[in-house]
């Protein structure tokens, strides 16, 4: 963090407040304070410590701070414990890079145990920075007792969760086509895949599949079936073609010798009307046709199982005429639909690509080639597709090719293009409990509300079974042992169970440890763990149980406080953390895991683009904090659309404006109060109209902010704050200024009211702006008050005499009208070029007001008289009397200014001496007057 010279005064004052909180242990005291309403449970989604905090973390953190602070003030005990997400690809990729590894093989060569221990050492490298940064933005959370997803206790709870859902029949193993990352060599979940779609260039090809024995089907010699694909690299794995039964196909003469078959749609009306058109063919008539594949590596293999079913035409429901030729190329190892069809009709299984994305040795023309390498260079990324295309061209199999741009999934961690790949994986049968999940979800309150049926609801409805196995290393493991001989399965739900079964002490549940532990099977053979580890989201979804080491510890406490009142995260988590929490809540207890959730949007750069370290298109968060203070950043974020799950284009000038309009003004009011205070107790009994008005506004503020917090609509809790601070500083204090200067009963009332408002306001702003709240509170607190604003109670909003009282509402409306009239009149002044200090004779207004309000308006606009007329009009005729008075006022202002410059207190009496070389000046109607200010002897 920067040195002191770069810090603003506001930032330095915040740092002093931090010292005070820490020294007096205010956070701990706020947790220990009386909580008549019980416990308010908040679950904190753990961030990865493998990077520095960014604006996304800051938004979530600020929300996760303001809400618990509010409920603490409302009389709840709100425990807040930090967590660290430690497992998974993010840290594995960092260690791989550090060790210079390119492939998964490198890890195996290096040794899984060594690799995992390296991950354990490296995963918390940024923790110290976070531990400084998070408190600096004013977030109160216990980071010392943070839970770690790599702790044995957390991992044991994960085992418990796994066993529970396994025992309920919600876990199964299946072999199917799914997305893998060939670089990470692992399967990915639906959500991970959804995360990585990007528009990329690809090549689509239309390929000839030459019909065998065409005469048998009354077709001319040299007839080909045309099939279209955007993944040319899958063509060596072709084992069938699929058509639609109800699709209309046509036979077309291409030239003297060649004919082809495609859908009527593909051939097009022009061709259909020409002499090239031979005849129409029904889809059903194509079924059973045999063809010669463009690549013959597998058709020649006589040992291949189900070979007799291969390289034929089948009917399938998924074939459409929307894109391509109406004939689909089937490579069951590389597509979900293809895989389903192959199971139905027993196609031979051909997988010509290894899991690392390279072509196998039998594909002799392309052996070892990566089918979709990661590269920014299209010629590298598409290298294999282009090679396949050339081969097709040379062998007369290429009908046409086209460049296309389409959305293609990439690895969310390493950016490698994903492959559709048939492999074995363990699944959670989410579809089995989907009904319950949808039913339970009805009771969850979302902010903003549209997420409930929108992004979240739609994802829930589309939920599919969750692929939980990862073929990786540093993660929680699947606690499932299988017999080497009889294949019997045993699932362990605790360390004790595994220890009892194996007779070994188990100190750590990571892969490299537990994979060494064999368990004897009833059949006499040995059981070993299945090699897969768990998707990291399995950890995240287990967070409520892992944090408490449930059910091994804190059983009663957990059960009493489950589910959480509140969680908050970014919008991407609707498909991730929120979702996985909900899967387990429904699977384990048939319950929701959280009752209220705030979803925040994404912070993007000021130009609307993604924030990019490389482009440096956004200011460093810590610099923003040190320039404007954390409170300014907090209020800026909390009152922005980002708390409504919308994107926020981050604007540094926006933070600056919030700082000036709110924190700056509040500091000024506090300084003003301190200048005049005389130990007057705070009170709200004044009868002065300005006092009555600001008190009415204050209670209106309490009602509005309370409603905002109660409904988790933070922007609604924030918006009234700035409006109030404007009313308070730019109207109440300014219009009351003279009242403080003259001793007497009115000054006392003004001071008592000012102090009362400062006190209440400090409590209302405390959740959002904890620093300035503390500063104001410390400036006006009584000896009997709690030692910190964060130990006070939320102001009560039910007092009949103020809230919703008709008189107060009327006064608020009238004063708003006065402010509007004043601003209109001042604009008229500006237009006429007459400064405010120059009194004018009359202001005509089109409404009637009480005498009290007329007087306030007259003072603000600086007119002798306010009269009622047709429209608003300012009399701008200057009489000699008015000019004289204007000069007097100008001089008075200059003297007041000079007093400030000289550092005189309000108690000092002074006189002016006019001198040509005087230090101060006043611009009068007669010209500039220079003078010195002399303090009278006491």
> Is 501 an interacting residue with respect to Zn ion (CB under 5 A)?
no
Smallest gap from Cβ 520 to Zn ion, in A, equals 9
> Is 489 an interacting residue with respect to Zn ion (CB under 5 A)?
no
**Cα separation of the two ends of the chain:** 49
577 tagged catalytic: yes
Q: What is the 3-state secondary structure (H, E, C) of 297-308?
A: CCCCCCCCCCHH
Choices 109-117, 176-184, 546-554, 745-753 (CB under 5 A): range interacting with Zn ion: 176-184
Looking at 521, 630, 655, 695, which residue binds Zn ion (CB under 5 A)?
Answer: 521
Cα Rg, the chain, nearest whole Å? 37
Q: H or E stretch including 498?
A: helix 495-502
> Is 181 an interacting residue with respect to Zn ion (CB under 5 A)?
yes
Q: Within its chain, how far is the Cα of 161 from the centroid?
A: 27
900 tagged catalytic: no
- Count residues near Zn ion (CB under 5 A): 13
Smallest gap from Cβ 470 to Zn ion, in A, equals 11
537 tagged catalytic: yes
Residue closer to Zn ion by CB (options 525, 924) is: 525
609 tagged catalytic: no
Helix, strand, coil shares of the chain, percent, nearest 5, are 45, 20, 35
* Residue in 880, 885, 881 with CA at minimum distance from that of residue 838: 885
Residue closer to Zn ion by CB (options 471, 722) is: 471
* Residue in 66, 67, 65, 106 with CA at minimum distance from that of residue 82: 65
Looking at 11, 184, 498, 761, which residue binds Zn ion (CB under 5 A)?
Answer: 184
Residue closer to Zn ion by CB (options 184, 203) is: 184
* Residue in 626, 614, 611 with CA at minimum distance from that of residue 57: 611
Contact code string over 275-314 relative to Zn ion, x by CB under 5 A: ----------------------------------------
Catalytic residue among 191, 573, 644, 838: 573
71 tagged catalytic: no
> Is 321 an interacting residue with respect to Zn ion (CB under 5 A)?
no
Looking at 414, 530, 611, 816, which residue binds Zn ion (CB under 5 A)?
Answer: 414
Residue closer to Zn ion by CB (options 89, 534) is: 89
Catalytic residue among 311, 466, 577, 794: 577
Catalytic residue among 44, 65, 85, 691: 85
* Beta bridge partners of residue 490, listed in sequence order: 481
Residues 6+ apart with CB under 8 A from 407: 197, 198, 199, 200
Catalytic residue among 34, 442, 505, 613: 613
300 tagged catalytic: no
Q: Are 630 and 14 in contact (CB under 8 A)?
A: yes
Smallest gap from Cβ 381 to Zn ion, in A, equals 15
Q: Mapping DSSP to helix (H, G, I), strand (E, B) and coil, where does residue 848 land?
A: coil
Residue closer to Zn ion by CB (options 69, 183) is: 183
Catalytic residue among 311, 466, 481, 537: 537
Smallest gap from Cβ 472 to Zn ion, in A, equals 10
CA–CA distance, 786 with 777 (Å, rounded to integer):
10
> Is 355 an interacting residue with respect to Zn ion (CB under 5 A)?
no
Residue closer to Zn ion by CB (options 490, 748) is: 490
| Longest CA pairwise span in the chain (Å) | 125
Q: What is the 3-state secondary structure (H, E, C) of 774-799?
A: HHHHHHHCCCCCCCCHHHCCCCCCCC
Site for Zn ion in 690-749 (CB under 5 A): none
Looking at 32, 449, 523, 832, which residue binds Zn ion (CB under 5 A)?
Answer: 523
Smallest gap from Cβ 70 to Zn ion, in A, equals 41
Q: Are 858 and 826 in contact (CB under 8 A)?
A: no
Residue closer to Zn ion by CB (options 193, 441) is: 193
Looking at 304, 525, 797, 841, which residue binds Zn ion (CB under 5 A)?
Answer: 525
Smallest gap from Cβ 483 to Zn ion, in A, equals 3
573 tagged catalytic: yes
CB count in 10 Å sphere of residue 911: 11
Looking at 221, 404, 486, 820, which residue binds Zn ion (CB under 5 A)?
Answer: 486
Smallest gap from Cβ 527 to Zn ion, in A, equals 7
Residue-wise burial string across 60-95, b where 16 or more C-beta atoms lie within 10 A, e elsewhere:
bbbbbbbbbbbbbbbebbbebbbbbbbbbbbbbbbb
Site for Zn ion in 466-485 (CB under 5 A): 483, 485
Q: Are 564 and 594 in contact (CB under 8 A)?
A: yes
CA–CA distance, 829 with 346 (Å, rounded to integer):
90
Residues that bind Zn ion (CB under 5 A): 181, 183-184, 411, 414, 416, 483, 485-486, 488, 521, 523, 525
Q: Which residues are catalytic?
A: 46, 85, 537, 573, 577, 610, 613
């Amino acid at each position: 963090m920067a040195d002191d010279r770069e810090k603003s005064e506001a930032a330095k004052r915040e740092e002093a407040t931090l010292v005070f909180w820490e020294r007096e242990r205010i956070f701990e005291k706020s947790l220990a304070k009386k909580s008549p309403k019980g416990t308010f449970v908040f679950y904190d989604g753990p961030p990865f410590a493998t990077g520095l905090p960014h604006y996304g973390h800051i938004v979530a953190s600020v929300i996760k701070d303001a809400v618990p602070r509010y409920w603490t003030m409302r009389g709840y005990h709100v425990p807040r414990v930090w967590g660290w997400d430690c497992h998974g690809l993010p840290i594995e990729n960092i260690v791989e890079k550090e060790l210079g590894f390119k492939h998964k093989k490198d890890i195996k060569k290096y040794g899984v145990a060594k690799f995992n221990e390296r991950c354990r050492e490296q995963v918390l490298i940024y923790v110290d920075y976070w531990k400084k940064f998070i408190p600096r933005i004013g977030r109160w959370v216990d980071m010392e007792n943070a839970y770690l997803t790599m702790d044995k206790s957390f991992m044991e709870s994960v085992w418990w969760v796994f066993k529970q859902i396994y025992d309920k029949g919600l876990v199964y193993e299946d072999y199917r086509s799914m997305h893998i990352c060939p670089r990470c060599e692992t399967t990915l979940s639906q959500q991970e895949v959804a995360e990585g779609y990007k528009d990329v260039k690809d090549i689509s090809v239309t390929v000839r599949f030459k019909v065998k024995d065409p005469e048998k089907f009354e077709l001319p010699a040299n007839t080909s079936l045309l099939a279209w694909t955007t993944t040319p690299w899958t063509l060596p794995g072709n084992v069938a073609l699929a058509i639609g039964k109800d699709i209309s196909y046509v036979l077309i003469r291409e030239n003297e010798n060649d004919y082809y078959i495609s859908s009527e749609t593909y051939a097009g009306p022009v061709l259909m009307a020409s002499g090239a058109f031979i005849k129409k063919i029904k889809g059903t008539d194509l079924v059973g046709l045999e063809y010669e594949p463009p690549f013959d590596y597998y058709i020649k293999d006589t040992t291949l199982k189900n070979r007799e079913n291969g390289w034929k035409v089948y009917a399938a429901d998924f074939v459409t005429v929307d894109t391509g030729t109406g004939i689909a190329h089937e490579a069951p190892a590389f597509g979900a639909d293809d895989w389903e069809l192959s199971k139905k009709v027993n196609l031979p299984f051909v997988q010509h690509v290894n899991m690392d994305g390279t072509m196998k040795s039998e594909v002799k023309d392309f052996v070892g080639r990566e089918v979709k390498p990661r590269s920014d260079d299209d010629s590298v990324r598409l290298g294999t597709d282009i090679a396949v295309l050339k081969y097709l061209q040379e062998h007369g199999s290429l009908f046409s090719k086209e460049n296309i741009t389409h959305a293609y999934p990439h690895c969310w961690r390493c950016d490698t293009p994903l492959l559709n790949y048939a492999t074995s994986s363990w699944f959670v049968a989410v579809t089995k409990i989907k009904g319950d999940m949808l039913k339970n979800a009805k009771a969850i309150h979302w902010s903003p509300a549209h997420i409930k049926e929108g992004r979240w609801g739609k994802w829930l409805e589309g939920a599919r079974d969750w692929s939980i196995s990862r073929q990786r290393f540093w993660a929680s493991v699947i606690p499932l042992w299988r017999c080497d001989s009889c294949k019997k399965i045993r699932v362990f739900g605790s360390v004790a169970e595994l220890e009892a079964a194996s007779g070994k002490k188990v100190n750590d549940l990571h892969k490299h440890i537990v994979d060494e532990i064999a368990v004897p099977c009833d059949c006499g053979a040995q059981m070993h763990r299945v090699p897969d580890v768990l998707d990291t989201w399995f950890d995240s979804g287990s967070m409520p149980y892992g944090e408490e080491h449930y059910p091994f510890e804190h059983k009663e406490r957990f059960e009493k406080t489950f589910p959480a009142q509140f969680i908050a995260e970014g919008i991407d988590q609707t498909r991730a953390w929120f979702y996985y929490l909900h899967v387990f809540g429904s699977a384990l207890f048939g319950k929701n895991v959280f009752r209220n959730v705030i979803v925040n949007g994404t912070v993007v750069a000021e130009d609307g683009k993604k924030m990019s370290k490389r482009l440096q298109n956004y200011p460093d968060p810590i610099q923003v904090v040190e320039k404007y203070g954390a409170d300014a950043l907090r209020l800026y974020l909390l009152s922005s659309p980002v708390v409504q799950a919308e994107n926020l284009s981050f604007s540094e000038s926006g933070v600056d404006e919030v700082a000036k309009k709110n924190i700056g003004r509040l500091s000024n009011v506090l300084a003003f109060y301190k200048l005049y205070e005389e130990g007057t107790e705070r009170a709200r009994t004044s009868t002065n109209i300005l006092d009555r008005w600001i008190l009415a506004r204050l209670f209106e503020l309490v009602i509005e902010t309370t409603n905002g917090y109660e409904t988790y609509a933070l922007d609604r809790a924030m918006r009234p704050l700035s409006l109030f601070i404007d009313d308070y500083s730019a109207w109440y204090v300014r219009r009351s200024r003279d009242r403080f200067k003259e001793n007497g009963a009115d000054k006392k009332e003004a001071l008592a009211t000012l102090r009362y408002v400062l006190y209440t306001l400090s409590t209302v702003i405390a959740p959002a702006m904890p620093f300035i709240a503390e500063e104001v509170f410390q400036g006006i607190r009584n000896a009997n008050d709690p030692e910190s604003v964060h130990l006070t109670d939320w102001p009560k909003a039910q007092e009949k005499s103020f809230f919703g009282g008709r008189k107060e509402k009327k006064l608020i409306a009238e004063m708003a009208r006065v402010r509007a009239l004043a601003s209109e009149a001042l604009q008229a002044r500006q237009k006429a070029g007459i400064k405010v200090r120059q009194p004018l004779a009359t202001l005509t207004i089109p409404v009637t007001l009480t005498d009290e309000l007329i007087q306030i308006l007259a003072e603000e606009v600086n007119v002798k008289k306010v009269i009622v007329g047709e429209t608003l009009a300012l009399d701008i005729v200057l009489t000699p009397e008015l000019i004289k008075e204007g000069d007097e006022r100008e001089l008075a202002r200059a003297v007041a200014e000079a007093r400030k410059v000289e550092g005189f207190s309000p108690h000092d009496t002074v006189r002016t001496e006019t001198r040509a070389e005087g230090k101060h000046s006043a611009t009068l109607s007669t010209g500039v007057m220079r003078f010195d200010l002399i303090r009278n002897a006491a």
